[in-house]
Chain A
């Protein structure tokens, strides 16, 4: 941060205090609500008429709902990366990014849970998963792990928020009545005593340690939904590590995007500085290299052997009808952002933001390529089936629901930033005091 030691506590509080939406904020929020409502209407149609309103059929039984689910699970891993890994490694520069990362994680995991229910033809039967759990099924493991990760992420978001809630409560006049009620409900008991801080810090430390294996598990189990099925493109022992490396990359890209937008529209240039973009850019380069390594493993080894069932699948990806999308994901979603962020000039705010957008968009389509083409290349030839069974392109209802879920996740982040400080006020003040002491 830029000379924080010279800032007064009042200035930091005023700078980081949740701000009312401006015109842009209102239009943005309204836009997100409209997309969400459109998604809700499409889901109403799906409930009324059944899954026939989608383009999913006997072969492509998993479409963009599941690729969206995998995307959400992937992006949620950023919470463990920024909050836990960097905190445990005592990386101080990540302090302003921790809450951004955690709210991205929480919103993503909420919509990961919802979109999987949307994919069900009979959602009212979801309770059967809990009433008659079948431990042998990786789907059950996923349900358990997602629930657990959601709770842990929520606590990790909540505990560091307590000192800030006290600050928000003390500035009653700046808040609406609704805000005051929420702040009181959530944090009126926080007095900031040494004992409360001791318990809170210890709990955060426990969470940081615990969230890493849980985060690894959530994405490994999600990869096992595919890898435990004998299919071309999924039959890989590499899938867990491949998914986790990809998840870290998209999470890193999402943080770059969020950093830039919050910095620009909340005028946080003094708190999210060029130094943060530089450091985060380096992290993303490292993650992109890691993901590149796993991609080479995932595609080169089967392509070298070219087993007959894999051949059609790989040919479609490399040079067939998915080639444009595949090379877009590899080049625009991974190589180009890595190239941009390799250079110091590329790690400035705007280029880093653009690289982040490339990573996130590329990652979304990459999940689509992982899920659907495999389903359209079964071991046995597709014979005596309607033509529509042999192809898949999402219907407008599927697009509306998928986009609605993405808008919903963004809406949670937007509303959270409206109600709570997106950069921890208390931790920033403490760091300022530490800097002062050092000086």
Chain B
């Protein structure tokens, strides 16, 4: 009996310890609306798990997304599975094109399925249709850009004020700000005018740069990106070093210093060897001369 009791207490204690050591898990689902160059709308889905104090990406999680009508087959935007980074992208299908154009704003419903590593969770976002325009300012001596944010209201597009945006030059790995500020806010006309202060930025073969205006994670209109190409860069000509003298060039294009050193050593040592051969020949001649006398 005491043994049974001891076992039971042991088991109970272990179970309590197990439940105490089980980390609390919270599954998170986020949906972001993006539109690129006012033409390509898409949704970015992220699944994450919060364990204790850490936030971890949850991969391979199936997520279903609906537009305007939750769980309706006809309103299905797509079913995606997140990648190992816990991310997935889904575009608006052609079947929803007519619905897309009818309304000025849309609501997206996302549902993540449950799995051993993820609890079922749903998310909903509403976005108003908007446009982000970017253009150069004609005339004047300075180079300037103007960005305009417009929102759909009925059948017309009205300016949006107080929208924060960035304007930058596309560089490898990010955007380089074109003006003095990192971000700008639109005025009552929905516009921002920024002077392009960057000088001597390397462009492509024609000196062209890609300038981009970005609205990041706006609560009302989502994320918008629009780019244009401007001829304000420095012409970049790729100069091939294929034919130059180097350690990796063909034999005839060896570096001068190496050629001089190598041939210098070879000539010095082999001159000495040739000299020694002449000495042997002289010894030979002396011997033959002695024999003949």
Measured CB to CB, the residues of A under 8 A from B are: 132-136, 141, 144, 148, 151-152, 155, 158-159, 162, 188-191, 193, 195-196, 199-200, 202-203, 206-207, 210, 214, 217
Q: Is the CB of A207 within 8 A of B258?
A: no
For B269, list chain A residues within 8 Å (CB): 148, 210, 214
Task: Give the residue of A136, A190, A191, A200 whose beta carbon is less than 8 angstroms from that of B247.
Answer: A136
Contact stretch, chosen from B44-52, B162-170, B211-219, B274-282: B274-282
Tell me the complex Cα distance, A132–B252, Å.
9
B262 nearest CB across to chain A (Å) = 5
Q: Is the CB of B251 within 8 A of A210?
A: no
Q: Is the CB of A200 within 8 A of B283?
A: yes
For A206, list chain B residues within 8 Å (CB): 272, 275-276
**Nearest opposing residue in chain B for A144, CB measure:** B266
Of the candidates A136, A144, A190, A210, the one having the most CB atoms from chain B within 10 angstroms of its own CB is A136
Interface check B284, CB cutoff 8 A: yes
Task: Give the residue of B251, B258, B270 whose beta carbon is less than 8 angstroms from that of A148.
Answer: B270
For B258, list chain A residues within 8 Å (CB): 135-136
Number of A-B contacts defined by CB within 8 Å: 71
For A202, list chain B residues within 8 Å (CB): 279
Interface check B248, CB cutoff 8 A: yes
Q: Is the CB of B276 within 8 A of A132?
A: no
Task: Give the residue of A132, A135, A190, A214 whose beta carbon is less than 8 angstroms from that of B283.
Answer: A190
A230 nearest CB across to chain B (Å) = 14
Q: Which residues 249-268 in B have Cβ within 8 Å of A in the complex?
A: 249-251, 254-255, 258-259, 262, 265-266
Tell me the complex Cα distance, A153–B285, Å.
23
For B272, list chain A residues within 8 Å (CB): 206, 210
Interface check B101, CB cutoff 8 A: no
Q: Give the interface residue-count category, chain B.
A: 20 to 34
Q: Is the CB of A193 within 8 A of B254?
A: no
**Nearest opposing residue in chain A for B282, CB measure:** A199
Q: Is the CB of B279 within 8 A of A203?
A: yes
Q: Is the CB of A189 within 8 A of B273?
A: no
Q: Is the CB of B251 within 8 A of A189?
A: no
Tell me the complex Cα distance, A136–B287, Å.
45
Tell me the complex Cα distance, A115–B258, Å.
28
Task: Give the residue of A158, A189, A217 whose beta carbon is less than 8 angstroms from that of B288.
Answer: A189
For A135, list chain B residues within 8 Å (CB): 251, 254, 258-259, 262
Interface check B73, CB cutoff 8 A: no
Interface check B290, CB cutoff 8 A: yes
Q: Is the CB of A189 within 8 A of B276?
A: no
B235 nearest CB across to chain A (Å) = 34
Q: Is the CB of B254 within 8 A of A203?
A: no
Interface check B172, CB cutoff 8 A: no
- A190-B283, A200-B283 known; A152+B273 contact, CB < 8 A: yes
Interface check B53, CB cutoff 8 A: no
Q: Is the CB of A190 within 8 A of B287?
A: yes
In the complex, 21 of the A-B residue pairs with CB atoms within 8 angstroms, ordered by the A residue number, are: A132-B251, A135-B254, A136-B249, A136-B251, A144-B266, A148-B266, A148-B269, A152-B273, A155-B276, A189-B291, A190-B287, A191-B287, A193-B287, A193-B290, A200-B279, A200-B283, A202-B279, A203-B276, A207-B276, A210-B269, A217-B265
For B284, list chain A residues within 8 Å (CB): 189
- A134-B251, A152-B273 known; A159+B280 contact, CB < 8 A: yes
A316 nearest CB across to chain B (Å) = 32
Tell me the complex Cα distance, A152–B250, Å.
31
For B247, list chain A residues within 8 Å (CB): 136
B242 nearest CB across to chain A (Å) = 15
**Nearest opposing residue in chain A for B272, CB measure:** A210
Q: Is the CB of B276 within 8 A of A196?
A: no
A139 nearest CB across to chain B (Å) = 13
Interface check B20, CB cutoff 8 A: no
